[in-house]
Structure 1
Amino acid sequence: MKLLQVRKGQLVYFNNELHKVYSVKPLAKKSVLMFRLKDMEQVASKAEQVSYYKPKHLDSFLFLGARYTLRDDIPAEPGGYIFITKPDPDYMDHYSLNEFEKVESVEGKDVVTTRQNTVKFREFFVMVPGEEPGSNDITYFDKAKVAPEQLDEDALLEEKLREENAIKPSIGDVYLNLDNGATAMVVAIEQDIVTMGTGDKLTFHALYKSDSWNYLYSINSTDSDL
């Protein structure tokens, strides 16, 4: 694509995988900022390295590790997800191209999302969990180029992401060091490395699996959370 053709919200292929553009920085060397739909991994590229894709009925893809199929012929349901491809928000609503929103309630064919947006039925696809019969898998531009090992990893991706989300610590989390009985708080996080107030540095996974550190509470929690 040419840089002038790239817009925030567009779906594009980069390195054979489906991404969504979240920002365009014309003056940057790699001006297209995007995240991979299947796991939200962020990446930057040049405009000529991406190719545009317009989603359609019965397209199927991985989103946060789970597979969904886009349908325009069934009603949305509370608790389900919609994919907004033709945004036409009223002045009180705030959403844009290719946004994922969770349905709070249904009003006729239209929906009210958990972000309190009213979205008209002609603006969105319903995201049906799973791979529907006759669907078109768009996770990869050319699936024939994907190694079998990668497809096996994709099948386990939802569980992997769920575990990573569960073990991800936050600044302000307080842990007990079972080796010496001292407590320490998470004071810094850089990528997947946690720095404790004691100076100890551990990866997310090492902290989660450690026999020496036990989570106590977070200073950011309210009384009702404890």
Structure 2
Amino acid sequence: MKLLQVRKGQFVYYNNELHKVYSVKPLAKKSVLMFRVKDMEQVASRADEVSLYKPKHMDSFMFFGERYTLREDVPAEEGGYILIAKPDPDYMDHYSLNEFEKIESVEGKNVITTRQNTVKSREFFVMVPGEEQGSNDIAYFDKGKVSAEQQQHDAQLADDLRDRSSIRPSIGDVYLNLDNTGTAMVVAIMGEEVTLGTGDKLTFHDLHKADNWSYLYNVADGDFR
């Protein structure tokens, strides 16, 4: 792709795997910042190293270790996830292209997400857990290049990510919020309570057991961008 074609939120393939662009830095040598959808690993690349993909009905992929299939013909359910592929927010709502959001409630065919966005049914795909029969696997651009070792790693990815989440938190730990795919860093620890950069305060136990916070990395490891 050319740099002018790259936009925040786009799904792209990089190194044969599905990624999502979260920022574009035109003046940087590696100007496209993205995360790998299957495990949220962050990476930077040049625009000419990625290729665009537009998600469709019945596409299947891994999102943070779990397999989902995109459906436009099933009703949304409270507690499930949606992918906002055709964003058209009202002035009070705040979301953009290809955002993953968790459903707080359903109003007719529309949903209200945990970020208090009202999303119309024509804007999103329902993320149905599992790989539906007849679905199109888009996790890799060329599945023929995926080794048996990589397939085995993918099969146990959810368990590996849960193991990473069980690490005792420390200053500089960055966590992913699965409700809105935002990230937050541990900025303070007092006794058994941690404070995140978002202002959230949780005990060690609550942070590890929460279904909407998952450990990514520590900034001291050199992975922070």
TM-score range, shorter chain: 0.7 to 0.9
Query: Cα offset for 1:219?
Result: 6.2
AA aligned opposite 2:74? I
Look up the match of 1:58: 58
In the alignment of these two chains, the number of paired residues is: 184
In structure 1, stretches of 5+ residues that fail to align are 172-188, 192-215
Question: What residue number does 2:134 align with?
Answer: 134
Equivalent position SS for 1:131: coil
Task: Give 3-state SS (helix, strand or coil) of 1:167's partner.
Answer: coil
Partner of 2:161: 161
Measured in 2, the distance between the counterparts of 1:130 and 1:99 equals: 19
Q: Secondary structure at the match of 1:151?
A: helix
Tell me how far apart the structure 1 counterparts of residues 64 and 79 of structure 2 sit (CA, whole Å): 17
Superposed, 1:62-211 pairs within 5 Å as 62-171=62-171, 189=172
Q: Which of 215, 218, 224 is matched with 2:193 structurally?
A: 218
Q: Partner letter of residue 78 of structure 1? A: E
Over the matched positions of the two proteins, sequence identity in percent amounts to: 73
TM-score by length of 2: 0.78
Structure 1 Cα separation of the partners of residues 193 and 168 of structure 2: 13
Note the C-alpha offset of 1:165: 1.2
Q: For residues 134 and 202 of structure 2, what CA distance do their matches in structure 1 show?
A: 48
Q: Tell me the CA shift for residue 222 of structure 1.
A: 7.1
1-side partners of 2:8 and 2:168: how far apart? 29
**Distance between the aligned counterparts of 1:26 and 1:136, measured in 2?**
33
Structure of higher CA gyration radius? 1
TM-score by length of 1: 0.78
Letter in 2 for 1:218: E
Once the 2 structures are TM-superposed, how far is the Cα of residue 169 of structure 1 from its aligned partner? 1.2
State the Cα distance separating 1:217 from its structure 2 match. 2.0
Match of 1:204 in 2: none
* Consecutive unaligned residues in structure 2, runs of 5 or more: 175-190, 196-200, 207-225
